[in-house]
Amino acid sequence: MQRGIVLTLLALLCAPSCTKDQAQVERRAAAERKQARQAELLRAVAKRIAPGEMKRVSKARPVAEISPPKEKKSPTQLVARCVERKGGRKLLAKVTALEARLKLSGAHSLQTHTMIRYPDKLRVDYRAGGELVRALIMNGERAFSVMKGAWRELEGARLRDVRLAAAADTLAVLRVASRAGAKLSHLGSSAVRGQPAEVVRVELAGLGHAALFIGVAKHDLLAVRYEASQGLTTVIASKLKPVGGLLVSHENRILVGAKETVATLEKIEINPRLSDDTFVVEKH
């Protein structure tokens, strides 16, 4: 039985592209980037969210600072134990697609419908009060924002943020980290919500790196962290329940600077049938 499959993806689900007013989104995104960089005391637990009502994060850090390693530990072995805890390499390899519905609260109220075809196709529909307000589509190395029937291709930092969030998704990042020849390093020890963890850094080709917080007690993947354009991004998973042999996080705490969003998983299907048209922007 293994750990949550929808983890760092939630960072993407809470990206600041969910509102109806694009100009307002851009202004608030700029302000949030500045605020995130000034919030040094909370950068260790940062996570990006959409603009909206802000909820202040307690000064008690849910993720402790990383301490230098007191003894050498093999990052390959740490990742292998985490993968085994999640369900094993064979089971992970069989997961080719994912469909999930989530409810976002805290920083804002939205519902999301996410469809993924690994390794590089993604679509997220954002709804407010049942009304579709935006869709985000990634197909290969390209990504698009769709609103009111009009679409715009994402470029630069925003494109990188989407691709990085997809690459740092729990399932995707564990696949990369467990490959032969993966570029891994043991950063040291930390704690996530009081649970001791070892921290492993994994290089993501062309996108930077992610830090995996692997629990000492059970080898669960407690959190994933990466650097997005808005600042250091961290997603913390909880309420694990088995789904198809995997332990899936049914609640994720998403933090960026002094802001917080909680994403609650309402429904999930592993290996759903997804039409090719799902990821074609001209079809939406």
The larger pLDDT score, comparing residue 191 to residue 149, is at: 191
Q: Is 60 exceeded by the pLDDT of residue 186?
A: yes
> Span 53-82, mean pLDDT?
80
> Span 55-65, mean pLDDT?
66
pLDDT class of 9 with cuts at 50, 70, 90: very low
pLDDT tens per residue across span 126-141: 998 888 899 999 999 9
> What's the CA gap between 1 and 41, in Å, rounded?
35
Q: What are phi and psi of 257, to 5 degrees?
A: 55, -125
> Comparing 32-36, 51-55, 71-75, 220-224, which segment has the lowest mean pLDDT?
51-55
Q: What burial class does residue 184 get, using C-beta atoms within 10 Å of its C-beta: 0-12 exposed, 13-18 middle, 19+ buried?
A: buried
| Cross-strand bridge partners of residue 124 | 114, 136
Cis peptide, bond prior to residue 119, ω within 30 of zero: yes
**Residue length, the chain?**
284
Cβ neighbours of residue 143 closer than 8 Å, sequence gap 6 or more: 136, 137, 153, 154, 158, 159, 162, 163
> Comparing 52-61, 86-95, 256-265, which segment has the lowest mean pLDDT?
52-61
> Span 257-277, mean pLDDT?
90
> What's the CA gap between 95 and 88, in Å, rounded?
11
